[in-house]
Amino acid sequence: MREIPGRRRGLPSQRSDERPESIGAALTFATRWQWPVLPGVAPDPRRRGGCACPDPECTVPGAHPFEPGLLAATTDARMVRWWWTNRPTAPIVLATGGKAPCAVSLPALPAARALTALDGVGMRLGPVVASPTRWAILVKPYSMEQLGELLFAKDFVPGSLRFHSEGGYLALPPSETGAGPIRWERAPLPGSASPWVPDVEAVVDAVVEALTRTGVSAPEF
């Protein structure tokens, strides 16, 4: 599925002189790393923390696909360049799964404490994406069956953990969303052909253990 150039419905207009770095980042993700991306809907400039989509109760304001839909995500340089030339302020949305990384996310404060604990035990992590409210640890692609077996084997899994797998999505830096800016808490190594990411089992095991050991209660939000 590809977006056909033409008039977009229901989205605020965006000036072509804003956030020129987004197109460079989107092209790096798509062409160098082969991560399928597409533009997000963007925050509503008229409402603080709001979304430009029609849903007044949007739970991920500005940080999700709208037009085009998620199935349009691509690694095609021409399409990516066309999207961000016409919508330079649009968030960069990664379609997780397939050949692209998946992710495990949790609220920002427990995530910061968990990463400190993981560093203390020598756990190797790949890139970590941070918004003001949640951090996402990128992991190797996994199936829902694999995830189900992993979670079933555990006595306790924090309810605030979220899993971005096949059919999911995640906003990438340097996006601006309704929740605020998206940044790298742990950036990929400069010049990476494709960033290394750990297995989901290792991350979930380590995060659950770290949260349990440090006594962190990860709230549901």
pLDDT tens per residue across span 74-124:
999 999 999 999 999 999 999 999 999 999 999 998 899 889 888 988 889
Mean of pLDDT values over 63-81? 94
Q: How confident is the model at residue 32 (pLDDT cuts 50, 70, 90)?
A: very high
Task: Report pLDDT for 216.
Answer: 52
Copy the structure tokens of residue 199: 């297995």
Spatial distance between the Cα atoms of 72 and 126, rounded to a whole number of angstroms: 26
Rg (CA), the chain: 17
DSSP for the chain, please give it.
--PPSSPPSS-----TTS-THHHHHHHIIIIIS---EEE---B-TTSTT-BSSS-TT-SSTTSS--SS-GGG-B--HHHHHHHHHH-TTSPEEEE-STTS-EEEEEEHHHHHHHHHHHHHTT-----EEE-SSEEEEEE----HHHHHHHHHT-S---TT-EEE-TT-EEEETT-EETTEE-EEEEPPPTT-SS-----HHHHHHHHHHHHHHHT------
Residue with tokens 């979220």: 162
Mean of pLDDT values over 35-64? 90
Q: How confident is the model at residue 212 (pLDDT cuts 50, 70, 90)?
A: confident
Task: Report pLDDT for 4.
Answer: 31
Size (the chain), residues = 221
Spatial distance between the Cα atoms of 178 and 157, rounded to a whole number of angstroms: 28
Task: Return the exposure string of 168-199: e unless at least 16 CB atoms fall within 10 Å of the residue's CB, then b.
Answer: ebbbbbbbbbbbeebeebeebeeeeeeeebbe
Reply yes or no on whether the pLDDT at 171 is more than 60.
yes
Average pLDDT of the chain to the nearest whole number: 85
Task: Report pLDDT for 170.
Answer: 96
Spatial distance between the Cα atoms of 85 and 43, rounded to a whole number of angstroms: 18
Reply yes or no on whether the pLDDT at 130 is more than 70.
yes
Task: Report pLDDT for 21.
Answer: 83
Spatial distance between the Cα atoms of 36 and 72, rounded to a whole number of angstroms: 9
Reply yes or no on whether the pLDDT at 152 is more than 50.
yes
Task: Report pLDDT for 221.
Answer: 37
Reply yes or no on whether the pLDDT at 127 is more than 90.
yes
